[in-house]
Amino acid sequence: MKPVDPSALLDNLSWRYAVKKFDSTRKIPDDQWAAIERAIILAPSSFGLQPWKFMVIADQALRTTLRVASWNQSQITDASHLVVFARRAEMTARDVDRHIDRIIAIRNTPREVLAELRTMMLGAFSAPGFDVNAWAARQVYLALGFFLYTAAQMGVDACPMEGIDAARYDEILNLSAQGYRTTVVATAGFRASDDWLAPLAKVRFPAEEVIERR
Ligand SMILES: Cc1cc2nc3c(=O)[nH]c(=O)nc-3n(C[C@H](O)[C@H](O)[C@H](O)COP(=O)(O)O)c2cc1C
């Protein structure tokens, strides 16, 4: 692996901000977009179960419809790319077996070696109080973090977006029928030269307040 220089990395993270106004004429080059897609696939998840679906919405008419379900925020139509991060609505034995089958296919692991892992996963999902929505959403947000980080390291702008009517998204995209629920959205592209937020300083609590050392 090639370690990234710490100061360059932090410069890039300081450069990024949640873009309010994208330059609708600029598109993310294919190789950069491919890296962002690969980065969200590479995001870690609990047990490696990947309880998500990433819907890349290129159709402009569909994006106009989704904008109405997104507090009319302009990023939905004006960014180069729009991704809807959906979570699995339930976790069944089929989901667990899909993952087990994938491990076997990729690593050639004997099925019997994975029997205990399978039982553990099924046990976790049937435990009293297990909240599949909260669990799956946590995994999806990790992928969102990978999206934002990767974009920033390549000089691609982005905006994470929770200001959406998730139930309406589910209807528009027919997600429930596929067993998924809209969780959060990410837009990416390039900031407009007159985005009002771009010149403003970053607002963060001081490190001494948020990092406690013992
Ligand atoms: C999960 C999440 C949802 C957000 N939803 C929106 C949104 O709907 N619209 C928007 O303009 N910004 C949205 N933001 C951006 C935040 O307001 C922004 O990340 C925060 O103020 C920190 O600023 P910075 O990202 O520019 O450093 C969201 C951020 C996160 C992490």
Please report the pLDDT score of residue 200 as a whole number. Answer: 98
Question: The tokens 């050392």 sit on which residue?
Answer: 213
Contact 51, 191 (CB under 8 A): no
* pLDDT tens sequence across 48-87: 999 999 999 999 999 999 999 999 999 999 999 999 999 9
Looking at domain 6-210, which CATH architecture does it have? 3-Layer(aba) Sandwich (3.40)
Contact 17, 199 (CB under 8 A): no
Alpha carbon distance 104, 207 (integer Å): 44
Which of these, 132, 157, 152, 164, lies nearest to 55 by C-alpha position?
164
Contact 103, 114 (CB under 8 A): yes
- Residues with CB under 6 Å of ligand 1 are 17-18, 20, 73, 159-163, 184, 202
13 Cα: distance to centroid of ligand 1 (angstroms) = 14
67 alpha-carbon distance from chain centroid: 18
Domains of the chain by residue range: 6-210
Mutate to test the pocket of ligand 1, among 159, 164, 187, 204 (most ligand atoms within 8 A of CB): 159
Protein residue whose Cα sits closest to atom 9 of ligand 1: 161
Contact 125, 81 (CB under 8 A): no
Q: Reduced to 3 states, what is the DSSP secondary structure of residue 66?
A: helix
Task: Walk along the chain (214 residues) in steps of 10 and give the mean pLDDT of each run.
Answer: 97 98 98 98 98 98 98 98 98 97 98 98 96 98 98 98 98 97 98 98 98 98
Q: What is the pTM (predicted TM-score) of this model?
A: 0.98
